[in-house]
Structure 1
Amino acid sequence: MKRIGITGQNGFVGSHLYNTLGLKPEQFERINFERSFFEDSEKLDEFVKQCDVIVHLAAMNRHPDPEVIFNNNIDLVKSLVASLDRTGSKAHILFSSSSQEEKDNLYGKSKKEGRTLFAEWAERSGGKFSGLIIPNVFGPFGKPNYNSFIATFCYKLTHGESPVIDNDGQVKLIYVGELVQEIISKIEAAQTQDLYEVPHTSENKVSEVLSKLENYRNLYFENGEIPELATTFDLNLFNTFRCYFEIKDHYPVKFTQHVDPRGAFVEVIRLGIGGQCSFSTTVPGITRGNHFHTRKIERFAVIKGKALIQLRKIDTDEVLDFYLDGNEPAYVDMPIWYTHNIKNIGEEELYTIFWINEPFNAEDADTYFLEV
């Protein structure tokens, strides 16, 4: 069992790392960190004392004055190093640096100098240090106009705006889930490595990424069709895109129902990919689900009866309620990292069709149980 603290645990990468570590409670204990600890040496020292591993992610990326970015990032490193010295810690420090280290800007310089300060601490204290040079990161819940151009494009395409390409260059990218696995592998290795360049997992022109996202908007956001997802990058980009529209305003989506004297016909899903389709009957008062996925795409379609579908992003308290009725067939798609359930709130059996983008595999189910 390793006790792990994450500075910046509520940030983009930090929250993904924090939540992923939480999936393995038998291996990792998460030590809570708050931004205010940097202003209180006693609280910072108490945090440091508890940690076998500290992943230092807290940093400023953007500010009108580059000097503010530089001073802020260096001050954070110096505060943490001072606490490590005061407590005599020999923790393993992992530091997120950037591919901008070699560029002539103050953000890159703050990262390079911060990495040097941690390496010097490790050498004199006997602690361990891993300096990670990280490529451009994208993924769900990144802030538009801050974390990545992909976050900005996704937000604009789902909010009636038109993205603009400033520089159509080749960009080396890594999905935040892939970066988290890289960090965890370094935690498990527990070795000093002053400089490790995290390999990018895809390389794309900005215009190619925008073209894919525009296709997702046209097929999925506007028409409910699951697009062709030929590569891992496509799947990760699509799951990223799905997290940017206003879920509580978008769902439930009503199907087009064709009625004639024989009865009714409803098309449930149109696919560019395969997967597994199933249906269930649920007796009144019973709730199914209460779990979440980290990569799967899933659709719940109610075709008979009355249902309450609930969603909650796992690190928030807000519960989203969607009421569906088979008399007006509709569906709700499950975003990744949202725990979800479905309850029969009617007086007759509930009929539900479920589609998921990959067949169930008991050895890699990507299903984590958590009450909504």
Structure 2
Amino acid sequence: MVSRMVNKTEKHKIGITGQAGFVGSHLHTTLSLREDVELIPFERSFFEDMEALSQFVSNCDTVVHLAALNRHEDQNVIYKTNIKLVDELIKACENATVSPHIIFSSSSQESRDNLYGASKKEGKEKFMAWAGKSEGKFTSLTIPNVFGPFGRPDYNSVVATFCYKVANGETPTIINDGEVGLIYINDLIKVFIDTIFGEQEVAELGENSFGVDIAPNHFVKVSRILELLNKYKSDYLQNGIFPNLDDYFQKSLFNTFRCYISEDHYPVKYTEHTDPRGSFVEISRTETSGQFSYSTTVPGITRGNHFHTRKAERFAVIKGKARIQLRKIGTENVINYYLDGKEPAYVDMPIWYTHNITNIGDEELITLFWINEPYNPEDADTYFENVE
């Protein structure tokens, strides 16, 4: 086993083919948080323009090749498309006389008797041949089933399909209740980044070629996944109760489920109990630990403008008027929610959404907050980016 180290004195230039896809968008967004990285923009049209593709690879220290066709009614189209993308990328490197480190997303289906698996196996072999005759480096990552926020239903994984259906009032069908090996997207992205910076243990495949067989870190029956999702629907979606987030898989699944909830679900109004003494409102019920806090905000002031990659968080307005804004990182659409303490309500913050809260009234705004992790300045999971 060998490891390679990357010189970290300068910004490492990284390009991602397929950066708009499920894995690509997560990798692109996570890398954008690093000060030692310069991301080289990629567009799918580059594969139809050799000059543009050659310019792209010549600007990169590392190219992460994720662009691929996963599903099509004609398996031959999948095979031919994926092989063509590999051929074009190699040709671009040869045309530009450059030899970046190419990281290839292969699949556990390499060994199966289907044309998608064949396209991955042969694509890897082509890159190995290129690395052997050039000064380039090649690393193949064999990836198991991946799940996480923003996956495409009926395309990326059974988890994405089930989450979408349950969150939108549909009933998923279990075709085969087998045990599925899964890896959460954040864990997969860490392997990619460790590979880029030479911090991932790899196996030698050939001259200048290396490989990583990524093992699933969760093995779960399909029926168990659906059982948990239905519980999230009844407890969280219908009654606002946070589930147990101490278990890593359940937290990962819950954060995945939340991204499929319709944005018009919020704000959720509380049930206010009133008698001659005044009123009582239950802010949050949880099956997990966390931290409660509150803030006061004077008129016209905005708090927040940050996002989290793993934390679950609730904003509850109990006095004054507020506007809560959210925007998914990497997009431009801003979601606006308006809350009034006369009718106490809450909005929960999905991961990878930058968010803020503004006092839009004439009196002091009082907001209660719940987050599932006590604040740790050494691992805050808080990244600042303006919503607008």
TM-score for the superposition, normalised by structure 2:
0.94
Q: What does residue 7 of structure 2 align with?
A: none
- After the TM superposition, which residues 1-372 of structure 1 pair with which residues of structure 2 at under 5 Å, given as runs? 1-24=11-34, 26-189=35-198, 192-247=208-263, 249-372=264-387
Give me the whole-angstrom Cα distance separating, in 2, the residues matched to 1:87 and 1:251. Answer: 51
Give me the whole-angstrom Cα distance separating, in 2, the residues matched to 1:240 and 1:288. Answer: 26
Give me the whole-angstrom Cα distance separating, in 2, the residues matched to 1:106 and 1:268. Answer: 53
Give me the whole-angstrom Cα distance separating, in 2, the residues matched to 1:193 and 1:89. Answer: 16
Q: CA deviation at 1:166?
A: 1.2
Write out per-residue CA displacement over residues 198-239 of structure 1, whole angstroms, 9 at most, x where no aligned residue: 121111111111111111111111111001134211111100
Could you tell me which amino acid in structure 2 is paired with residue 37 of structure 1?
A: F
Give me the whole-angstrom Cα distance separating, in 2, the residues matched to 1:229 and 1:309. Answer: 25
Q: CA deviation at 1:170?
A: 1.3
Write out per-residue CA displacement over residues 134-159 of structure 1, whole angstroms, 9 at most, x where no aligned residue: 00000000000000000000000011
Give me the whole-angstrom Cα distance separating, in 2, the residues matched to 1:196 and 1:168. Answer: 29
RMSD over aligned CA atoms reads 0.9
Identity of aligned residues (%): 61
Could you tell me which amino acid in structure 2 is paired with residue 19 of structure 1?
A: T
Give me the whole-angstrom Cα distance separating, in 2, the residues matched to 1:292 and 1:349. Answer: 25
Q: CA deviation at 1:196?
A: 1.4
Give me the whole-angstrom Cα distance separating, in 2, the residues matched to 1:344 and 1:309. Answer: 9
Could you tell me which amino acid in structure 2 is paired with residue 321 of structure 1?
A: N
Asked if the contact 2:14–2:60 (Cα under 8 Å) also holds between the matched residues in 1, the reply is: yes
Secondary structure at 2:285's aligned position in 1? coil
Give me the whole-angstrom Cα distance separating, in 2, the residues matched to 1:333 and 1:13. Answer: 25
Q: What does residue 8 of structure 2 align with?
A: none
Asked if the contact 2:131–2:209 (Cα under 8 Å) also holds between the matched residues in 1, the reply is: no
Secondary structure at 1:222's aligned position in 2? helix
Q: What does residue 5 of structure 2 align with?
A: none
Asked if the contact 2:293–2:368 (Cα under 8 Å) also holds between the matched residues in 1, the reply is: yes
Write out per-residue CA displacement over residues 48-75 of structure 1, whole angstroms, 9 at most, x where no aligned residue: 1000000000001100010010001000
Could you tell me which amino acid in structure 2 is paired with residue 295 of structure 1?
A: R
Write out per-residue CA displacement over residues 319-348 of structure 1, whole angstroms, 9 at most, x where no aligned residue: 000000000000000000000000000010
Give me the whole-angstrom Cα distance separating, in 2, the residues matched to 1:12 and 1:261. Answer: 54
Give me the whole-angstrom Cα distance separating, in 1, the residues matched to 2:137 and 2:271. Answer: 60
Give me the whole-angstrom Cα distance separating, in 2, the residues matched to 1:73 and 1:206. Answer: 29
Secondary structure at 1:100's aligned position in 2? helix
Could you tell me which amino acid in structure 2 is paired with residue 56 of structure 1?
A: H
| Equivalent pairs, count | 370
Classify 1:193/1:225 alpha carbon distance in 2 versus 1 (closer, same or farther; 3 Å).
Answer: farther
Q: CA deviation at 1:193?
A: 4.5
Secondary structure at 2:374's aligned position in 1? coil
The answer to which of 79-88 and 52-61 deviates more is: 79-88
Give me the whole-angstrom Cα distance separating, in 2, the residues matched to 1:131 and 1:100. Answer: 14
Write out per-residue CA displacement over residues 102-143 of structure 1, whole angstroms, 9 at most, x where no aligned residue: 010000000000011011101100210000100000000000
Asked if the contact 2:245–2:372 (Cα under 8 Å) also holds between the matched residues in 1, the reply is: no
TM-score for the superposition, normalised by structure 1:
0.98
